Amino acid sequence: MGMASPIWAGTTSTSGQALVGLPDFTPIVKQYGPAVVNISTTETKVARNPSSPFPPNSPLNQFFAPFFGTPGGPGGAPGAESGQKYQVQSLGSGFVVSPDGYIVTAAHVVKGAQKIIVSLTNHQQYTAHLVGLSTRIDVALLKIDAKNLPTVQIGDSGKLEVGQWVLAVGSPFGFENSVTQGVVSATSRPLPDDPYIPFIQTDVPINPGNSGGPLFNMRGQVIGINDQIYTNSGGYMGLSFSIPINVAMDAVKQLKLHQKVHFGWLGVMIQDVSMDLAKSFHMKEPVGALVSQVVPGGPAAKAGLRPGDVIVSFDGQAIYNSGQLPPLVGALPAGFKAKMGIIRKGQPMTLNITVESLPNDMENTAAESSPPNGSMQKGEIKRLNVQVGPLTAEARNQLKVNTGVLVLGVGMGPAAEAGIRPGDVILQVAQQRVTSTADLQKLVATLPAGQPIPVLVRRGMGSFYLVLTLPH
């Protein structure tokens, strides 16, 4: 007696029709897959082997290579002695945007490469010329000597919505022309190291080698460039980030003309408003971008913006968190005039500001700092359990500040709980400027207990607010 074949869930019925209506990506792959390219690069590096504590032939070196850069590990090359040059090859992806050979990829795929090879799906290979790149947007434009190439269709990332299906094509771990799919998890997602990019977050499986490849929507249009993953293991964990194609192509247009990629600039350092910070600034809700530092002579300084102001709108658009502001301003041309809504000491105000172009030397140089060497007179603020001292000439030069007091020691207590560390410079307490140790002592003596107090500190080259609460 014969047995009937079972119908497995998610397959087809006996009539040959699908039981579920999942999206079919094959038309996109067939039409635009040939426009996706594989990119291999060769870069020359110098082997380093700084202070490994083990003998050169010790087997322990291979285990501690990630920490000491021993030859054969991430910090060196197999068989290379310290100081010797060696070659590193890496893989990435890209896509053709014009029939005459212009290709878009991620800047980190090709940055520093001495040789760039582009491989098409028909196995033809070309040596590519780097037209230009932008490390801030992480976009690069390549050119190969070819004609009549298949191209992708550029979409509008501004119309992308959370929940839409998307498709990635690339070379994860060198597996060429791999196709993965998922949905849009979020839009306009800023990341700490890339404030000018409103990333598209998806759950599309992206791995090393996918970088620079296209992210397609269901119309077969490229709406993003696959760029980063969030991972603890080095592999995919469900959080992938792509550069919106609108942002990328604006940069590509400038690169094609051999122009410097422009970014609008206000000249401020900002941070999110937490619930405690909102209370300390007498705000009803934790919204907006809190200004912690204003660049002297910059657009914000000229407009009258001060540390402690909270930006709640810009050019008619509400600002709910600090991540919204950099990509909004960065996309504006120099000379653009806007009205900026702020809250200052609990009162709403409007300032007129003119956007300028980001200077070439403006980089995020915030870093950890340590107390400068040298003896100085210490003062103890017992209510905070901190030791502070006046700013020496060395501290002023190293930290680029002319006012405030230097934190020399922090014991267990309110200051430590707020996050104040040795090496910090206290600039403001309760929005009052601190000019000396005695000044700080008087200010602290007047602070109410049990209420959040904003404290502006300088750490390295960056300033930000902490919340201090004194015990009863």
Residues catalogued as catalytic: 108, 138, 211
Sign for the CA dihedral angle at 368, 437, 373, 394 comes to positive
Q: Is 445 left (phi over 0), alpha (psi -120 to 50) or beta?
A: alpha
**Phi and psi dihedrals of 74, rounded to 5?**
-60, -30
Q: Which residues share a beta bridge with 340?
A: 314, 351
- Give the pairing type, strands 153-154 and 221-229: parallel
Q: State the Cα–Cα distance between residues 244 and 334, nearest whole angstrom.
A: 22
| Residue 75: CB atoms within 10 Å | 19
Residue entry with tokens 């291999």:
40
- What torsion, rounded to 10 degrees, do the Cα atoms 239, 240, 241, 244 define? -120
**Phi and psi dihedrals of 327, rounded to 5?**
-65, -30
Distance of CA 291 to the CA centre of its chain: 19
- What torsion, rounded to 10 degrees, do the Cα atoms 451, 454, 457, 459 define? 90
Helical H segments across 83-194, by residue range: 107-110
Do the Cβ atoms of 52 and 76 come closer than 8 Å? no
> How many C-alpha atoms does 321 have within 13 Å on its Cβ side?
10
| Residue 186: CB atoms within 10 Å | 12
Look up residue 17 and give its amino acid.
Answer: Q
Q: For the chain, give the longest Cα–Cα distance.
A: 99
Residues ≥6 apart with Cβ < 8 Å to 400:
461
Do the Cβ atoms of 69 and 51 come closer than 8 Å? no
Q: State the Cα–Cα distance between residues 128 and 99, nearest whole angstrom.
A: 15
Do the Cβ atoms of 405 and 440 come closer than 8 Å? yes
Give the H/E segment covering residue 467: strand 462-469
Q: State the Cα–Cα distance between residues 309 and 289, nearest whole angstrom.
A: 8
